[in-house]
Amino acid sequence: MRVAKIETSKHKQERVLVFLEGEKDPLRLTEAELLRFGLFTGKEIGEDELPALRQAAHRSQVKADGARIASSAMVSRRDLHRKLTAKGATEDEAAETVQWLADLGAVDDSATAATAVQHYARMGYGPGRVRQELHRRGIPRALWEDAMAHMPPSEEIIAAYLKAKKRDLSDPDQAKKTAAALARRGFSWNDIRAALRAAGQDWEETE
């Protein structure tokens, strides 16, 4: 099989498109891989060399996919690995790409945990719900407490939530509904009780 044409990618830096005769879709390689295989227009590719070339192109695509995913949103190492295997990467290819991006600083579970904690705190969620989200995102438990240490106090988050909702907490029914909503948001009953009392509603009257 002969190399029909080589083009520089218009969308990806350091990426080249290698068109083989008789094939519509090009092989997407890095410039380093182009040099490693000694590719040039008109070169004949032996049948013994073609599998390695295709494998290199596949690994290159997995890295491109990983970089795109990591640049579009904060993602944990576990979730990035899962997304890559879902797109067809092998376990080894996914693990290699995750480590490559981690070494570059593009994937950082500690940073992802801190960002997730701040995000859900701003949305008015309590510690219980935030821990659920860290688990869902695949953040290792060993990183949870350091991230949670920077979370605002529950009373501040609840106060902001109550101010935004503008509920009449002097009404026992509204107080009960608010307490239930705060519990679903991951706040402890002690924090809910204290917040309602601070807002002028005796907890005992809401139970």
Q: What are phi and psi of 159, to 5 degrees?
A: -60, -40
Q: Are residues 172 and 113 in the same domain?
A: no
Q: Are residues 34 and 94 in the same domain?
A: yes
For each successive 10 residues of the chain (207 residues), what is the average pLDDT? 86 81 87 87 89 89 92 92 95 95 95 94 95 95 94 92 82 86 94 83 52
Say how many domains are in the chain.
Answer: 3
| pLDDT for residue 207 | 43
| pLDDT for residue 201 | 64
| pLDDT for residue 166 | 81
Give the CA radius of gyration of the chain: 26
Q: Are residues 79 and 160 in the same domain?
A: no
CATH number, residue 136: 1.10.10
| pLDDT for residue 154 | 93
Q: Are residues 94 and 124 in the same domain?
A: no
The structure's pTM equals 0.75
| pLDDT for residue 167 | 75
Give the span between the Cα atoms of 164 and 207, in whole angstroms: 23
For residue 25, what are its two tokens?
Answer: 């879709």
Q: Which domain holds residue 188?
A: 154-206
Q: Are residues 37 and 83 in the same domain?
A: yes
Helices (H), the chain: 31-36, 50-72, 77-86, 91-104, 109-122, 127-136, 144-148, 154-165, 172-184, 189-198, 203-206
Q: Are residues 88 and 122 in the same domain?
A: no
| pLDDT for residue 206 | 42
| pLDDT for residue 47 | 86
Angle at 27 between CA 75 and CA 45, to 5 degrees: 145
Q: What are phi and psi of 195, to 5 degrees?
A: -65, -40
* Alpha-carbon distances, residue 105 vs 65, 76, 115, 139, 144 (angstroms): 16, 12, 15, 16, 19
